[in-house]
Structure 1
Amino acid sequence: MSPVTEAIRTVAAREILPRWRQLADDEISVKTGPHDLVTVADQAAERSLTAILTALLPGSVVVGEEAVHEDPSRYAALSGDAPVWIVDPVDGTRPFVRGETGFCTLVALAHHGELLGSWTYAPARELFAHAWRGAGAWLDGVRLHAGAPDHTRPLRVAHSHPDYTSPQQKRALSALVTEGVTARPCGAAGLEYLAVARGELDAIAFDWENAWDHAAGLLLVREAGGLELTRDGSPFRLAGENDMPFTAARDKATAQRLVALFRSGDAGGVVGAR
């Protein structure tokens, strides 16, 4: 077991799982709106991961969801010279609060905007996926191959959940309502990326840029043979604006098909907000 894998498992066992289905009302807070929740598990897990990961790689920094919420200037570290750990301590906080299993811990390692490593852990489902750039994507020791969709049936696509999208973003994603596509709102982003890497889902379409939601999953899909494209046909950039929406798909043809749908919409590009 790698030190990073061990750290993530240890923190989940100590800070997340003991609070799952055990949260008191005063351990849940609202951040930017009623659907944007944070719990004591999110906060404690991120603090622990920050301490452990920076000790494992001296000179590295952490861009974590909860720390950036407290101080948005920390996001700029993605453009700096230091290696960056990108952390979402509990991706899928709402399912976590509801006592469901659809949550995970996401960690990625990047340097100068390039993704190097990826870890996705769904402790309630006992799933652990990881990827290294150029070395493949793996789920519980089995190599992942995204493959290609079955072209005899509609594309299965998960998209940004309506609770988190503005009217303009909903219009941009409305192009997915078309013949040959079966679309549904997404659950936890990390688990949707894993579904694409496993070939269980053909593509995802998102319209927000927060690196902690996407970094781990993007590398997982890439190393499983998939591809991500933004609306202008370029890869997703961890730092800086992207032409939104963007997709991560099982293969190049599927990614290009979704980009063509985005461009056919009447909303134009939508740049996600942090």
Structure 2
Amino acid sequence: MMEQFLASDLSDVEEAVRKAAAAEVLPRFRQLADHEVLRKNGPHDLVTVADRLAEEHLTASLTALLPGSAVVGEEAVHADPSLLVALSGDAPVWIVDPVDGTRQFVHGDPGFACLVALAHRGEVLASWTYAPALDLMAVARRGQGARLDGEPLAAGSPAPGAVLQVAISHYDFTTDEQKRALAGLTTDGVAPRPCGSAGLEYLAVARGALDAVAFSWENAWDHAAGLLLVAEAGGASATVAGEPFRIAGGNALPFTAARDEATARHILSLLATAG
């Protein structure tokens, strides 16, 4: 079943992502009532009714497309952390962030995305990064490249001697220890800035509009789609230990994804020095 599914064009998945956003997210963009926005783990960690309903919509549609598959979604895992075990299991698993960049969504900023990745036995095989308010759809398939609105993506390389533009974990979401770990990027030749939607930052790397990201957290729903997108656009990624990022967790942090291997190595060397 899995092999047959991957051999298809997977356009049904893209349609499911678009439908979930059209039904549950876009109608609430800039229309949220106060009672539809809640806080989870802190004042900056928001969730809305759109997050929950879009994830429920995607869970139903994606498992119908691939019977026997599991779903690891941000909101479901918040309610039941035991669901994370599916990332290490034998069944295909959909990794879902229904509204990546909830803070942007809540404040009426169009820089949010719906992220979906399909993984099997720890390997991400396909991903969809959809920014509904910007009408952008990026799709990646392992070994088959990455496309944005149907056009091939190529990350390229930074210009020689150029200051590297790097999006890093947002200060509002980092501990003092994590800030220290990222401090190595505050140096000549690098211009770090707080990230917005992780999914859209990965897309910026994949299209060559951003040189790298450096993140200090490992939630699979934030990273699985984007890491495959960058890889299939010709980029590179690794943890501070020089290892591939594992979607099931247990990574040495921080980690980076960059436009090319040389940039990734440079960012990791700065992170390792700070650590």
Q: What's the TM-score, normalizing by structure 2?
A: 0.96
- Following the alignment from structure 1 to structure 2, what is the Cα–Cα distance between the partners of residues 5 and 33? 33
| Counterpart for residue 61 of structure 2 | 52
Q: 1:232: Cα distance to partner?
A: 0.9
Q: Percent identity?
A: 67
Give 2:116's match in structure 1, choosing from 107, 131, 153.
107
- Following the alignment from structure 1 to structure 2, what is the Cα–Cα distance between the partners of residues 182 and 26? 38
- Following the alignment from structure 2 to structure 1, what is the Cα–Cα distance between the partners of residues 126 and 42? 32
Deviations 1:163-199 (A, max 9, x none): 0000000000000000000110000000000000000
Q: 1:152: Cα distance to partner?
A: 2.5
- Following the alignment from structure 1 to structure 2, what is the Cα–Cα distance between the partners of residues 192 and 142? 18
Give 1:196's match in structure 2, choosing from 198, 205, 209.
205
- The 10-residue stretch of structure 1 (151-160 or 42-51) with the greater mean CA deviation from structure 2: 151-160
| Counterpart for residue 213 of structure 1 | 222
Q: What are structure 1's unaligned runs of at least 5 residues?
A: 269-274
Matched to 2:123, the amino acid is: E
- Following the alignment from structure 2 to structure 1, what is the Cα–Cα distance between the partners of residues 272 and 11? 42
| Counterpart for residue 164 of structure 2 | 155
SS in 2 for 1:195: helix
- Following the alignment from structure 2 to structure 1, what is the Cα–Cα distance between the partners of residues 273 and 249? 24
Q: 1:240: Cα distance to partner?
A: 3.0
Matched to 1:42, the amino acid is: D
Deviations 1:31-66 (A, max 9, x none): 000100000000000000000000100000000000
Give 1:227's match in structure 2, choosing from 215, 221, 236.
236
1:74-89 map, 5 Å: 74-89=83-98
| Counterpart for residue 39 of structure 2 | 30
1:160-199 map, 5 Å: 160-199=169-208
- Following the alignment from structure 1 to structure 2, what is the Cα–Cα distance between the partners of residues 39 and 240? 26
- Following the alignment from structure 1 to structure 2, what is the Cα–Cα distance between the partners of residues 170 and 117? 32
| Counterpart for residue 75 of structure 2 | 66
Q: 1:121: Cα distance to partner?
A: 0.3
SS in 2 for 1:131: strand
Give 2:249's match in structure 1, choosing from 235, 240, 243.
240
1:123 aligns with 2:136: no
- Following the alignment from structure 1 to structure 2, what is the Cα–Cα distance between the partners of residues 99 and 187? 13
Give 2:22's match in structure 1, choosing from 13, 17, 25.
13
Q: What's the TM-score, normalizing by structure 1?
A: 0.96
Deviations 1:138-157 (A, max 9, x none): 00010000001112311110
Matched to 2:224, the amino acid is: A
- Following the alignment from structure 1 to structure 2, what is the Cα–Cα distance between the partners of residues 151 and 241? 35
- Following the alignment from structure 2 to structure 1, what is the Cα–Cα distance between the partners of residues 248 and 54? 24
Deviations 1:105-147 (A, max 9, x none): 0000000000100000001101000000000000001000000
- Following the alignment from structure 2 to structure 1, what is the Cα–Cα distance between the partners of residues 141 and 272? 32
Contact 2:218/2:249 (<8 A) preserved:
no
- Following the alignment from structure 2 to structure 1, what is the Cα–Cα distance between the partners of residues 248 and 242? 17
What's the C-alpha RMSD, in Å, of the aligned pairs?
0.7
